[in-house]
């Protein structure tokens, strides 16, 4: 290390946890990583001396001029005198750095080990400290990876030394979970894109749940060409169970089904499914006539909430007519509609079925169907060119592919429902070995899916499956990345199961307190930096690094997304188009 830059000398009292350096002004900065070469007496080997390298982090820098006391400063301030006009010495400054010991590594026959061990004996005063070269720093930041070429992902540089790349252990991310936490505008989506690009370069399968359409343009990146599959979120109603669909209807209608409605809904749901599966056009004509709705005849029927609403309405009308006819003279009138409905799909339909219950379900299902159709249109407009989600969810996980599921335009509860269904099906397929490939789930705006106080049924479902993946995913090579700008609203159990963290600028006191409590590897000194970090700066902590470090995240290849265009530039572009072609712009 003699060829490396000397930055200071150990002075005063030193311990195995902390020491102080007398440093040259401007030679080092807070959060710098420094090294001290030393020897350690191995008593178990007969007192043999072994070479070690002590690594430490500069936590605080202090600057003082002992020949310029505070009293002199007060006097100059009161008299408004320029210090340069006095005989006071202004050149005898002393700069010292308080350094926290990180650990030490041993010198082996193959070079420095890269494995940090706890220091149990303080370094010797008057020892010189060095600014290590980039190769040494890279080694000690993450250790020697088992297969460096395959698992290392390059995501950042040291914040104070941009010539030092930070390549973290990608395996720690994809198997032991990662949390990216930051306030809005601090760079969390930028960071996520960088990680996605790096993992995609290694052909790692990923499924991204995108609540705002921020990742729909990933396919425009040259390096990701033909690697991104975009899906607009759809829900195959009759592939779900009746209870789930009943909850969806209640959520979308903002009016939960009553106990009586829930008791009847299973029969209605099964009848609607059988009606959809029946063959021939006769049933379509019957339904169109029964409801006096020619659109059914023109458009046919689809396996969606509209069909459930229409069957509920048809059953209500048929029961009402049958009940009316039953009090007329015997043999007068007919009950064709009622009997046909029983024959085609609802065998146990009774004339005394509560009509108000059916009518209540119909009203809610109709509102839900209308809301869902509106949201689907918004979703597809934001998502752009895309395909519906495959019925076989396992198709979402493919070697070298990224599946982006756009949830844009849907309500929070419906987003949580879709996420929980897909995540549960994929995890279950991996546990039962129908899926062989390892994969990573990325959940943006995670505080809306796994809130700390989730009360809605959709949130409870998404919290349950996420907790299970967080606890058990490592055993089955199912990884999880949670991204949030409001960590204090996240489920604490899930966050604590993440073994690696990227923490960016955070000014909300509740968020800071929560992060300090949950992220055990984050010290007080590092936590105090959070409100003052610049855009793109981050603290890396957890298993992907040997100790918390301050870095500058590297830019992703593609930073574009919804809302990233300058609004004033867009205003002028639209205006120019309207001036050039006013007729076309009006459409």
Q: What pLDDT, in 10s, does the model give residues 331-370?
A: 444 467 888 888 888 888 876 667 889 999 999 999 999 9
In this prediction, residue 323 carries a pLDDT of 65
Question: Same structural domain for residues 46 and 109?
Answer: yes
On the question of pLDDT at 147 being above 70, the answer is no
Q: Torsion-angle region of residue 422: left (phi > 0), alpha (psi -120 to 50) or beta? A: alpha
Question: Same structural domain for residues 75 and 188?
Answer: no
In this prediction, residue 353 carries a pLDDT of 62
In this prediction, residue 520 carries a pLDDT of 83
Binning pLDDT at 50, 70 and 90, where does residue 328 land?
very low
In this prediction, residue 35 carries a pLDDT of 94
Question: Same structural domain for residues 427 and 556?
Answer: yes
Binning pLDDT at 50, 70 and 90, where does residue 509 land?
very high
Question: Same structural domain for residues 447 and 480?
Answer: yes
pLDDT in tens, 278-325: 888 888 999 999 999 999 988 888 889 999 999 999 999 888 887 655
Domain carrying residue 314: 238-375
**Which residue, 541, 558, 535, 552, is CA-closest to 402?**
558
Show Cβ contacts of residue 509 under 8 Å, excluding neighbours closer than 6 positions: none
Is there a domain that residue 146 lies in? no
The residue out of 312, 347, 375 marking a domain boundary is 375
In this prediction, residue 587 carries a pLDDT of 43
In this prediction, residue 325 carries a pLDDT of 56
Is there a domain that residue 477 lies in? yes
In this prediction, residue 563 carries a pLDDT of 52
Calculate the dihedral angle through the C-alpha atoms of 567, 572, 575, 579, rounding to the nearest 10 degrees. Answer: -170
Question: Same structural domain for residues 171 and 253?
Answer: no
In this prediction, residue 62 carries a pLDDT of 92
What is the rounded CA–CA span in Å between residue 368 and residue 250? 8
Question: Same structural domain for residues 63 and 36?
Answer: yes
Q: How much is the pTM?
A: 0.84
On the question of pLDDT at 584 being above 60, the answer is no
Question: Same structural domain for residues 419 and 542?
Answer: yes
Binning pLDDT at 50, 70 and 90, where does residue 47 land?
low
Task: Let me know: does 536 contact 554? Beta carbons within 8 Å.
Answer: no
Task: Let me know: does 346 contact 315? Beta carbons within 8 Å.
Answer: yes
What is the rounded CA–CA span in Å between residue 193 and residue 124? 45
Binning pLDDT at 50, 70 and 90, where does residue 148 land?
low
Percent of the chain with pLDDT over 90: 51
Is there a domain that residue 470 lies in? yes
| Host H or E run for residue 568 | helix 567-580
Q: What's the whole-number mean pLDDT along residues 177-185?
A: 94
pLDDT in tens, 400-457: 999 999 999 998 888 998 999 999 999 999 999 999 999 999 999 999 999 988 777 7
User: Alpha helices, DSSP H only, in 292-345?
Assistant: 294-299, 305-326, 336-344
What is the rounded CA–CA span in Å between residue 571 and residue 565? 10
What is the rounded CA–CA span in Å between residue 403 and residue 405? 6
In this prediction, residue 337 carries a pLDDT of 84
Is there a domain that residue 79 lies in? yes
| Host H or E run for residue 156 | strand 152-158
In this prediction, residue 407 carries a pLDDT of 93
The residue out of 375, 397, 430 marking a domain boundary is 375
Sheet containing 402-406: give its strands across: 161-169, 152-158, 549-553, 537-542, 500-503, 178-181, 478-484, 439-443, 206-210, 402-406, 228-232, 387-388
Binning pLDDT at 50, 70 and 90, where does residue 259 land?
very high
In this prediction, residue 329 carries a pLDDT of 42
Is there a domain that residue 61 lies in? yes
Helix (H, G, I), strand (E, B) or coil at 546: coil
Q: Which residue pairs, CB below 8 angstroms and at least 24 apart, start in 292-300?
A: none
Q: What is the mean pLDDT of the chain?
A: 86
In this prediction, residue 68 carries a pLDDT of 72
Q: What's the whole-number mean pLDDT along residues 546-557?
A: 91
Task: Let me know: does 452 contact 413? Beta carbons within 8 Å.
Answer: no
Total residue length of the chain: 587
44 or 290: which carries more pLDDT confidence?
290
What is the rounded CA–CA span in Å between residue 470 and residue 490? 13
Q: Pairing mode, if any, of strands 111-112 and 206-210?
A: unpaired
In this prediction, residue 332 carries a pLDDT of 43
CATH number at residue 548: 3.40.50.300
pLDDT in tens, 244-254: 899 889 988 98
242 or 82: which carries more pLDDT confidence?
242
On the question of pLDDT at 471 being above 90, the answer is yes
Q: What's the whole-number mean pLDDT along residues 84-93?
A: 69
Helix orientation angle between 336-344 and 259-277, rounded to the nearest 10 degrees: 80
Question: Same structural domain for residues 246 and 229?
Answer: no
Task: Let me know: does 209 contact 404? Beta carbons within 8 Å.
Answer: no
**Which residue, 170, 219, 206, 232, is CA-closest to 401?**
206
Binning pLDDT at 50, 70 and 90, where does residue 216 land?
confident
On the question of pLDDT at 171 being above 70, the answer is yes
Is there a domain that residue 450 lies in? yes
The residue out of 323, 348, 375 marking a domain boundary is 375
What is the rounded CA–CA span in Å between residue 496 and residue 491? 9
Q: What's the whole-number mean pLDDT along residues 482-496?
A: 93
Is there a domain that residue 296 lies in? yes
What is the rounded CA–CA span in Å between residue 147 and residue 170? 11
In this prediction, residue 345 carries a pLDDT of 84
In this prediction, residue 330 carries a pLDDT of 42
Question: Same structural domain for residues 223 and 287?
Answer: no
Is there a domain that residue 219 lies in? yes
| Host H or E run for residue 495 | helix 492-497
Question: Same structural domain for residues 268 and 364?
Answer: yes
Total domains in the chain come to 3
Buried b / exposed e across 321-342, counting CB within 10 Å, b at 16+?
bbeeeeeeeeeeeebebbebbb
In this prediction, residue 327 carries a pLDDT of 44
**Number of neighbouring beta carbons within 10 Å of residue 504:** 24
On the question of pLDDT at 379 being above 60, the answer is yes
On the question of pLDDT at 87 being above 80, the answer is no
Binning pLDDT at 50, 70 and 90, where does residue 484 land?
very high
| Host H or E run for residue 33 | strand 33-42
Helix (H, G, I), strand (E, B) or coil at 43: helix
What is the rounded CA–CA span in Å between residue 230 and residue 343? 42
Q: What's the whole-number mean pLDDT along residues 92-96?
A: 85
Question: Same structural domain for residues 467 and 559?
Answer: yes
Buried b / exposed e across 475-502, counting CB within 10 Å, b at 16+?
ebbbbbbbbbbbbbbbbeebbebbbbbb
Binning pLDDT at 50, 70 and 90, where does residue 564 land?
low
pLDDT in tens, 96-118: 999 999 999 988 777 777 788 89
Calculate the dihedral angle through the C-alpha atoms of 9, 12, 14, 20, rounding to the nearest 10 degrees. Answer: -50
Task: Let me know: does 7 contact 33? Beta carbons within 8 Å.
Answer: no
Binning pLDDT at 50, 70 and 90, where does residue 145 land?
low
Question: Same structural domain for residues 246 and 367?
Answer: yes
């Amino acid at each position: 290390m003699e060829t490396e830059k000397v930055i200071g000398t150990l002075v005063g009292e030193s311990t195995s946890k902390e020491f102080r350096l007398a440093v040259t002004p401007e030679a080092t900065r807070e959060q710098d990583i420094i090294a001290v070469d030393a020897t350690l007496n191995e008593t178990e080997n007969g007192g043999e001396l072994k070479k070690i390298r002590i690594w430490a982090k500069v936590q605080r820098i202090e600057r003082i001029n002992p020949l310029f006391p505070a009293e002199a400063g007060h006097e100059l301030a009161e008299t408004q005198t320029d210090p340069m006009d006095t005989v006071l010495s202004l050149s005898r400054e002393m700069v010292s750095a308080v350094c926290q010991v990180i650990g030490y590594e041993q010198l082996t026959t193959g070079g420095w080990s890269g494995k940090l061990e706890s220091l149990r004996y303080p370094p010797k005063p008057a020892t010189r400290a060095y600014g290590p070269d980039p190769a040494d720093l890279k080694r000690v930041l993450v250790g020697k990876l088992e297969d460096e070429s395959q698992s290392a992902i390059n995501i950042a540089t040291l914040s104070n030394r941009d010539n030092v790349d930070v390549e973290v252990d990608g395996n720690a991310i994809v198997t032991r979970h990662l949390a990216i936490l930051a306030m809005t505008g601090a760079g969390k989506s930028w960071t996520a894109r960088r990680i996605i690009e790096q993992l995609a370069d290694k052909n790692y399968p990923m499924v991204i749940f995108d609540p705002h359409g921020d990742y729909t343009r990933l396919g425009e990146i040259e390096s990701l060409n033909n690697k991104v599959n975009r899906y607009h979120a759809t829900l195959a109603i009759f592939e779900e169970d009746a209870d789930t669909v009943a909850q969806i209807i209640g959520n979308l209608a903002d009016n939960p089904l009553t106990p009586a409605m829930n008791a009847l809904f299973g029969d209605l749901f099964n009848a609607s499914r059988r009606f959809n599966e029946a063959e021939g056009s006769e049933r379509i004509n019957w339904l169109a006539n029964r409801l006096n709705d020619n659109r059914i005849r023109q458009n046919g029927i689809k396996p969606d909430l509209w069909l459930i609403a229409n069957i509920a309405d048809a059953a209500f009308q048929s029961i009402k007519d049958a009940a009316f006819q039953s009090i007329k003279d015997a043999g007068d009138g007919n009950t064709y509609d009622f009997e046909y409905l029983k024959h085609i799909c609802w065998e146990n339909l009774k004339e005394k079925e509560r009509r108000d219950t059916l009518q209540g379900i119909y009203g809610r299902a109709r509102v839900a169907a209308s809301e869902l159709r509106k949201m689907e249109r918004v979703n597809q407009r934001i998502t752009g060119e895309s395909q519906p989600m495959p019925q076989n969810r396992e198709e979402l996980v493919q070697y070298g592919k990224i599946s982006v599921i756009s949830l844009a335009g849907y309500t929070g509860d419906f987003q949580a429902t879709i996420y929980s269904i897909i995540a549960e099906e994929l995890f279950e397929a991996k546990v039962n070995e129908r899926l062989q490939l390892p994969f990573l789930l990325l959940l943006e705006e995670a505080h809306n899916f796994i809130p700390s106080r989730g009360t809605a049924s959709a949130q409870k479902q998404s919290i349950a499956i996420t907790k299970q993946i967080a606890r058990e995913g490592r055993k089955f090579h199912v990884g999880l990345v949670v991204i949030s700008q409001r960590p204090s609203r996240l489920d604490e159990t899930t966050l604590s199961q993440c073994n690696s963290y990227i923490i960016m600028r955070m000014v909300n006191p509740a968020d800071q307190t929560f992060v300090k409590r949950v992220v055990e590897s984050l010290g007080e000194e590092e936590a105090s930096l959070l409100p003052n970090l610049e855009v793109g700066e981050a603290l890396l902590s957890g298993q992907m690094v040997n100790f918390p470090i301050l870095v500058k995240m590297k830019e992703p290849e593609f930073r574009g997304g919804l809302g990233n265009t300058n609004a004033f530039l867009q205003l002028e572009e639209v205006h120019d188009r309207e001036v050039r072609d006013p007729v076309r712009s009006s459409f």
